[in-house]
Chains A and B, each alone.
Chain A
């Protein structure tokens, strides 16, 4: 594993930007900024006519590092230690679970907690605990 530096100020600032985006999306479209819900609804079945807006939001997410690299000339470190098999299993579980549980870190963890939703609190505590348990097993049970 790689030791990463503790970055409270940058993380607080980045978190505030995520919050700003969530507030702006609610102001503009009246919808929760839940990335799993937005991404999942790019696939059928289609239940409304918001496809283009969702695609634009996802395109913005993907374009963000391109813009950061253009403006600052560099990108922060990104270390992906997982191999292809772990990425595939991890991706399947992340996609399935976030839809099955009606949201992920953004929908439940940011928007849901901010709305004082008990369902989101239960969901957030559950995925935090499951994530911590998984990392514990992967790193310390060998």
Chain B
């Protein structure tokens, strides 16, 4: 049952990406293209995606997190770190360059697979390789000596 619910939630997320226009890299790149403002080619739509998503999530999280526990789990697993370390800037800087090159961030790239695009398959394969590499490096003994926790996957 929990598995089916998570499939349905992924489906809603993916439909949101399609309806919002995020699944179209051309639209994403035109949003990131602030140099296109003078020419009138800047597409501000993605600001509205963020606004809609954050508004609903902000209100929804405040209500859900008042519950004693999630429906299918024993507790909430919320990120606890508050420190601004080098990785929280370096990681997004690297990710942002990749995002600006192809116009895909991870969610829309996965949804693009369902469009049947070969380009999406190439991008997702490379993206998965990058993810595995990042976790591998983060788990090396030399990096755990300086950074705790070792796994950067905490959001």
Contacts and interface: CB of A to CB of B under 8 A. Distances in A.
Interface residues of A, number: 119
Interface footprint category on B: 35 or more
Contacts of B7: 56-57, 59-60, 63
Given A78-B24, A98-B95, A123-B88, A11 B48 contact: yes
B11 A63 contact: yes
Contacts, number: 527
Interface of A: 1-37, 39-41, 43, 45, 47, 52-54, 56-68, 75-82, 84, 86-115, 117-120, 122-124, 126-136, 138-140
Interface of B: 2-27, 29-30, 32-36, 41, 43-46, 48-58, 60-61, 64-65, 67, 69-73, 75-79, 81-84, 87-107, 109-115, 117, 119-120, 122-135, 138-139, 151-155
Given A31-B73, A99-B130, 6 more contacts: A13-B19, A24-B5, A59-B10, A80-B117, A95-B133, A97-B92
